Amino acid sequence: MAKSNILFIINPISGGKDKLKIPAIIDANLDRSRFNPNYSFTEYVGHAAEIAEEAANKNFDIIVAVGGDGTINEIAAKVMQQQKILGIIPFGSGNGLARFLKIPMNTAKAIQVLNKLNVIKIDTGTFNDKFFFNMAGMGFDAHISSVFVGNKKRGLSGYLKLGFKEMINYKPETYHIRIDGVGYTRTAFVVSVANSSQYGNNAHVSPQASVTDGLLDVCIIKSFPLYKLPVLAYHMLSATTDRSDLVEIIKGKDIQITRVEDAAIHIDGEPYFMGREIAVSISPLSLNVIVPPEMGITVPE
């Protein structure tokens, strides 16, 4: 049996964790009778996408993102366009997509998932012209992402500290949202478009979301008084936001969002600046990704 060529693209700064030992852990756990491993470390923002594009045009069958949702985003867009296979070793601050796909947070166990080569197809989304695979949105979470990008204390604790500080002065905005032809006007703290159920760190904004249903979940977190923050946090961490009166979730395929002014958005946790009008769409079952066989995702025929 011919071996598959597999490239590990490693983001050395994602999640604030040291990754110099990753190649040694891979060597110790990867099935060398099935795979020829190669390694590449990213050096700057956007470098993962460049490496993935180059690799996809070469004789690599599988390209593995070693990092968080932002690293996965850069690599997955190129993997999808070339119809290659994506692998994930989670090493980010939140690891939203990896957690949803039940990929182990333990590095050795995540590598052992690759050995099984259980490939499924998942949906992907676009936010104007940018692909997203886990979550994209605007409002407070996008504002925090844009402020957090310059913060040296990456990781969950740094994110939470900054979040509390910024929340006190943040003003909810009005959004005009059109979902499959039906119009909604909402004043919201956050408008997230979810492919998977969670942001990361098991904070679920849309518990019933599926990456194989051909739909995106528009999650509107309503304006709320600060004292209700623990209630919202409870619903997210217990995966019950769909039962909360603080959150409205509407599923759809073709989504337009208009807001008052140009502002920050986030794509898989990474901040960008976009105009007032955002067009969101979905490409069903368009990305090949390796997941644990026990994950139990059912893919529609």
Are 209 and 77 contained in the same domain?
no
Phi, psi (deg, nearest 5) at residue 186:
-140, 140
Give the domain extent around 139.
Answer: 130-283
Cα–Cα dist 300/155, whole Å: 36
The partner residues of 256 in beta bridges, in order of sequence, read 178, 279
Q: Which amino acid, residue 29?
A: N
CB 75 within 8 A of CB 68: no
The domain that holds 104 is classified in CATH as 3.40.50.10330
Q: How many domains would you assign to the chain?
A: 2
pLDDT of amino acid 145 = 78
Q: From residue 82, how far is each of 47, 57, 129, 185, 260 by CA, in Å?
A: 17, 8, 17, 39, 37
**Residue 88 lies inside a defined structural domain of this protein:** yes
Among candidate residues 60, 94, 117, the one where a domain is terminated:
117
Q: Which residues contact 50 (CB under 8 A, 6 or more apart)?
A: none
Are 160 and 275 contained in the same domain?
yes
pLDDT of amino acid 5 = 93
The domain that holds 185 is classified in CATH as 2.60.200.40
Q: Which residues contact 116 (CB under 8 A, 6 or more apart)?
A: 290, 292, 293
Among candidate residues 117, 144, 177, the one where a domain is terminated:
117
**Residue 291 lies inside a defined structural domain of this protein:** no
DSSP result, 260-285: SS-EEEEETTEEEEE-SEEEEEEEEE
pLDDT of amino acid 161 = 72
Are 43 and 178 contained in the same domain?
no
Cα–Cα dist 277/103, whole Å: 35
Output the pTM of the full model.
0.92
Cα–Cα dist 183/193, whole Å: 16
Over its C-alpha atoms, the chain yields an Rg (Å, rounded) of: 19
Are 33 and 173 contained in the same domain?
no
Cα–Cα dist 163/158, whole Å: 9
Ordered per-residue pLDDT tens for the chain, 301 residues: 688 999 999 988 776 666 778 999 999 999 999 999 999 999 998 999 999 999 877 889 999 999 999 999 999 999 999 999 999 999 988 899 999 999 999 999 999 999 999 999 999 999 998 999 999 999 998 988 787 666 545 556 666 676 777 788 889 999 999 999 999 999 999 999 999 999 999 999 999 999 999 999 999 999 999 899 899 999 999 999 999 999 999 999 999 999 999 999 999 989 999 999 999 999 999 999 999 997 765 443 3
Question: How wide is the angle at C-alpha 149 spanned by C-alphas 144 and 154, nearest 5°?
Answer: 95
Q: Which amino acid, residue 204?
A: H
Are 134 and 247 contained in the same domain?
yes
Among candidate residues 117, 148, 168, the one where a domain is terminated:
117
Phi, psi (deg, nearest 5) at residue 34:
-110, -25
